[in-house]
């Protein structure tokens, strides 16, 4: 009994420091002129300081790990929800998909030429990480800057969608223990199961003439909070389904957000406000702080060369390919949609990576393909992109009003 109480006290103490960091981060970020330092970077920095490799005020535990996974799930739920299916299936979405495939091919080619995969012992994992875009991390930044409904913002969202979905699928196919063929079958089975699992509530629960729909609507503003509970049931259900198929939970969370958008094609401001409060107010900050706790800065300082090389490769592979791709974007009149500066902004935003890098390095380290030291280095490089890329994009676009998406 005493042991259990001691463990509970330890978890509570760790959670206190993590939550305190999540409270202080936006206050510090708001105090910086023009919000030049993203809150995400401060959360990661706080996690590094609080973690076992620095002050050792907070430690990971099964309870903390559950909150970490829920935060990751909430982040990708909102990222999937923000995507417009029509955009993804349109010309811009198709170009973003081709761009991501080019990124993956270029990543393998560059790593093969440099022999970097041999040094890190995880060529596939590194290649996947080089193609990622942190859409979930970018969303609050784009919203704060009023870019979500602009042509530039929608293009960033398209590249971000495939910069998250592509690496997730590639992880399942190329890093799974089953092999690519069996993994593809499992992915298809997961997709079918996800569609079937959501067909029932779409047809029965959300039909406006049904009694169940009326009960759901009556509970929206009561302590029942029915729409929030249904959303969390969808999220947890698809995460559990992904786990049952031995897939990364990111896939389940992303699918949950995408399916939620299909259920609510016109959106629901009331539900969105509640989900933002739950996710960005509690779960997502915990994810970033606990991610920072796993970074050992001593290992990063001991190998600065790998950090510089990986950061440069992110710029080349992801940023360079997106920059080249945006040259072919055209408006309704056939004229170039973006000038050189706007293309640079889109490329910089698209090079912002972190959650996927955290996920892919975690899989590689757990499988023994990558050392924890190299994992820390790659995650740190991803954190640097979160600090520098949105800031650089903002400075590049100063004094210009982006056009509203048509």
- Structure confidence by residue, pLDDT tens digits, 85-133: 777 778 888 999 999 999 999 999 988 887 754 455 578 888 999 999 9
Assess if residue 12 is contained within a domain.
no
- What's the pLDDT tens digit per position in 26-44? 999 888 877 777 788 889 8
**What per-residue confidence (pLDDT) applies to 216?**
66
Query: What per-residue confidence (pLDDT) applies to 201?
Result: 58
Q: How confident is the model at residue 3 (pLDDT cuts 50, 70, 90)?
A: very low
Q: Looking at the domain assignment, is residue 47 inside a domain?
A: yes
CA distance readout (Å), 302 to 294, 296, 312, 354, 377? 16, 10, 18, 21, 10
pLDDT of residue 15: 94
> What pTM was computed for the model?
0.82
Higher pLDDT, 238 or 82: 238
Q: Average pLDDT of 324-351? A: 89
**Which pLDDT value is given to residue 20?**
96
State residue 249's pLDDT score: 84
| CATH code, 112 | 1.20.1530.20
Task: Tell me if 16 is assigned to some domain.
Answer: no
Q: What is the pLDDT of residue 13?
A: 92
Lowest mean pLDDT among 73-77, 151-155, 278-282, 353-357: 353-357
Domain count, the chain: 1
Inside any domain, residue 96: yes
Domain assignment of residue 60, given as a range: 21-396
What is the overall mean pLDDT for the chain?
A: 83
Is residue 321 assigned to a domain? yes
- Residue 336 within a domain: yes
How many Cβ atoms from other residues are within 10 Å of residue 401's Cβ?
8
- Rounded Cα distance between 174 and 30, Å, is 41
Is 50 inside a domain boundary? yes
User: Residue 257 pLDDT more than 50?
Assistant: yes
pLDDT tens for 172-228 read 888 766 667 777 888 888 888 777 766 665 555 555 555 656 666 676 778 878 888
């Amino acid at each position: 009994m005493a042991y259990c109480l001691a463990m509970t006290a330890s978890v509570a103490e760790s959670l206190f420091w993590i939550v305190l960091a999540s409270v202080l981060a936006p206050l510090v970020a708001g105090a910086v002129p023009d919000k030049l330092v993203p809150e995400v970077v401060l959360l990661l920095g706080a996690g590094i300081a609080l973690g076992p490799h620095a002050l050792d005020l907070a430690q990971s535990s099964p309870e903390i790990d559950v909150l970490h996974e829920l935060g990751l799930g909430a982040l990708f739920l909102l990222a999937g929800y923000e995507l417009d299916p029509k955009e993804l299936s349109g010309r811009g979405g198709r170009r973003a998909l081709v761009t991501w495939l080019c990124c993956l091919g270029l990543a393998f080619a560059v790593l093969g030429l440099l022999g970097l995969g041999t040094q890190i012992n995880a060529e596939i994992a590194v290649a996947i990480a080089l193609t990622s875009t942190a859409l979930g991390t970018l969303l609050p930044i784009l919203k704060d800057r009023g870019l979500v409904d602009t042509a530039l913002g929608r293009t960033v969202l398209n590249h971000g969608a495939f910069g998250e979905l592509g690496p997730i699928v590639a992880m399942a196919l190329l890093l799974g223990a089953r092999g690519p063929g069996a993994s593809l079958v499992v992915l298809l089975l997961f997709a079918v199961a996800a569609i079937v699992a959501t067909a029932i509530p779409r047809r029965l629960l959300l039909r406006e003439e049904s009694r169940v729909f009326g009960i759901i609507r009556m509970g929206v503003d009561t302590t029942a909070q029915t729409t929030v509970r249904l959303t969390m049931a969808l999220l947890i259900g698809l995460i559990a389904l992904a786990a049952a198929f031995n897939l990364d939970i990111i896939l389940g969370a992303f699918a949950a957000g995408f399916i939620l958008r299909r259920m609510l094609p016109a959106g629901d401001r009331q539900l969105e406000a509640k989900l933002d409060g739950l996710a960005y107010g509690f779960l997502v900050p915990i994810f970033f702080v606990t991610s920072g706790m796993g970074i050992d800065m001593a290992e990063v300082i001991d190998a600065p060369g790998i950090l510089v090389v990986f950061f440069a490769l992110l710029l080349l592979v992801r940023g360079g390919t997106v920059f080249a791709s945006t040259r072919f974007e055209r408006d309704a009149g056939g004229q170039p949609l973006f000038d050189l500066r706007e293309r640079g902004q889109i490329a910089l935003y698209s090079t912002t990576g972190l959650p996927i890098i955290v996920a892919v390095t975690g899989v590689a380290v757990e499988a023994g393909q990558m050392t924890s030291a190299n994992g820390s280095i790659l995650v740190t490089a991803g954190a640097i992109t979160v600090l520098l890329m949105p800031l650089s994009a903002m400075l590049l676009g100063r004094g210009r009003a982006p056009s509203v998406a048509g």
